Chain A
Amino acid sequence: MLGKGLLKGLRETARNFVGSYSDPERLTTVQYPEERLALKENTRNFPFLVFDGNDSTKGLRCVACKICEKECPPQCIYIVLERDEKGKPQKHPRVFDIDISVCMSCQICVEVCPFDAIKMDQVYELSRSDRFDGLLMRKPDLAKSNDYYHTIHPTEASEVDGRLAAEKAKAEAAKAKLAPPAAAPAPKSPDPAATAAKAAAPNTPAPSTNAPPQPAPATATAVIPPPAANISPSPERKADL
């Protein structure tokens, strides 16, 4: 009969109308600024720099090797290596900028980083009133602690921590074995960071000759993993590259 469908439809919408008042479960809207959905653990966007310990400048894992800067497809990373007053390169960046208006959250920087220094974040409220300087994230904005990394990506962070600890232990063992003969030539060796960067760029495992300088540098804090250990990537990371 003509009009039966209309009545049926009207009944259905009336049920929705009344139901949405009596049963709040029906309302699917998440009222965003007040309510938020919990993010999935695998949510990833915009990179940040991981630092260990409490000091965001000293604890930075980044050694300014510039691999991510070179690999970044939209070229949104800008790194300047820190040098001391004599012009000697230090193993951390003086400038590390990411232009988040350009960054496309592709995660390539994370994949190429041999030092586990850059990781993907979970931030999404990045709107700014200034579209130039406001969207340029500088080193202090980018540096976030390892604890924060553990809160956003717990599984991944523990895996990274385990790997770093294992590599560090391996390097310690190597150091213990090589320490007595290597003590003398260490100061004369070329800058370890530069060597590391050079060695890492062609993505080959570091020759064993690089191992001796490791124990020497006094500037490198304990948390920075020895380059020799890092340059030889673990098997699964090699596959990624």
Chain B
Amino acid sequence: MTWNAETIFADLKREILALVSPDNQPVVSVLLSIAPLLAVFPTLFALTTILERKGLGRIQNRYGPNRVGPFGLLQPVADGLKTLFKETVQPRAADRVVFFLAPVFLVLPALLAFSVIPYGKYMVPLEMDAALLFFFAVGAGTELAVFMAGWASRNKYSLLGAMRAVAQMISYEIPLILCTVPVIMLSGTLSPVEIVENQNRYTAAIAHWNVFTPWGAAGFILFLIAAAAEANRSPFDLPEGESEIIAGYYIEYSGFKFALFFLGEYLGLFAMCGLGITLFLGGWTAPFDFLTFIPSYVWFFLKLLALISLFIWVRGTMPRVRMDQLMNFAWKFMLPMAVINIVAAAAWKFTPILGFKWAVSGVIILAGYISLAQGLTRKAHFSKRTYRFAT
């Protein structure tokens, strides 16, 4: 048989499966799907830590880590070894079982979420009709893990951080899910594979990505904001605000458990980015039809790296928001904007001509954006306080 760059991984899996007896094939097939996920994403996590530290350094006119290996590229190895050898300290008053389970429960949902994302044309670990529902259902498990960690540590700061995290994650989960609704509406399916297939069309060499429509662009931005809040990324990193509550819910964690928290957080971010790519950025499709010769999984990981870089860039730019700003933004802007976006998507669906579609949909979104932004940025007016009895 011939090896094709596009299908190399699918072919490889088929070849290996052919070597196994038919009875064992389902188990081996599952393992063959899981193993790359477990290898690729923690590696990507290591890569992201060095990328993030370097990038943030450059944003602040510093070098960033440059001591371990050439250009400091082996820094993640040094970090990993350090955390592995560190002592795992457990508070005496901690709830032992829950304390132990919390980091595991944080990494698990992130890994489960990876199973439904299409990484390439023939590369979906788990094909499911309602995979989007599965993704969000599993993703909600993160909140449980965070609260377990905060509660089990028996530490006020941990509990404060966990409370903040749960409040923030639940508030932002609603706009997160609502801003994916237009995509589901217009592609008429909950399966990421079909959503990507729908975007795999080209008009005048340009792909039909959802982000190239008014509702898609708005939805993508809303999705990015909500994803940052879901993954506790700056500027929404209140649950772990270093300057206020030290490290939030994982104060009491050290050594490898701390590394697991770190890993879980980044894996959650990657999963969110993967979903964003699938829904809005055309998944594994190329942006122009003359670039389709590049294998699909390369496109997926290029987009993933681009989104991660965007999150790093935003982290280097934005200060942490206040709790009231966070909640105001979620309930007074994100949620209504997501609902308006659904209306805009419906208008897009039911208006006939392309120019007309753009006009109606764009006007709805712009009007919503301007009015909501005014409501959000309106200055509070304070009048001089008058007293009736005191002088």
Q: Using a CB–CB distance below 8 Å, which chain A residues touch chain B?
A: 1-3, 6, 9-10, 12-14, 16-17, 19-21, 26-29, 31
Contact = CB atoms under 8 A, between A and B. Distances in A.
A22 to B, nearest CB: 11
Interface string B18-37: 00000000000000000000
Given A6-B317, A6-B318, A29 B62 contact: yes
Contact of B317 (A1, A9, A26, A27): A9
A136 to B, nearest CB: 32
SS of A interface (majority):
helix
A19 to B, nearest CB: 8
A14 B317 CA distance: 9
Interface string B352-376: 0000000000000000011011001
B128 to A, nearest CB: 36
B290 to A, nearest CB: 29
A20 B369 CA distance: 36
Contacts of A10: 313-314, 317
Given A2-B373, A9-B318, A21-B58, 4 more contacts: A1-B373, A13-B313, A14-B313, A28-B62
Interface of B: 55, 58-63, 66, 313-314, 316-318, 333, 369-370, 372-373, 376-377
Contact of B61 (A1, A3, A6, A27): A27
A104 to B, nearest CB: 32
A27 B62 contact: yes
A12 B317 contact: yes
Contacts of B61: 16, 19-20, 26-28
Contacts of A2: 333, 369, 372-373, 376-377
A28 to B, nearest CB: 6
Give the 5 A-B CB pairs with smallest separation, nearest first. Answer: A2-B373, A9-B317, A13-B317, A13-B59, A20-B58
Contacts of B318: 6, 9
Contacts of B59: 13, 16-17
Given A2-B376, A6-B318, A17-B55, A31 B63 contact: yes
A16 B373 contact: no
Contacts of A13: 59, 313, 316-317
B60 A16 contact: yes
B223 to A, nearest CB: 15
A34 to B, nearest CB: 11
A26 B372 CA distance: 40
Contacts of B370: 1
Nearest to B310: A10
23 contacts: A1-B373, A2-B369, A2-B372, A2-B373, A6-B317, A9-B317, A9-B318, A10-B314, A12-B317, A13-B59, A13-B313, A14-B313, A16-B61, A17-B55, A17-B58, A17-B313, A17-B316, A19-B61, A20-B58, A20-B61, A26-B61, A27-B61, A28-B62
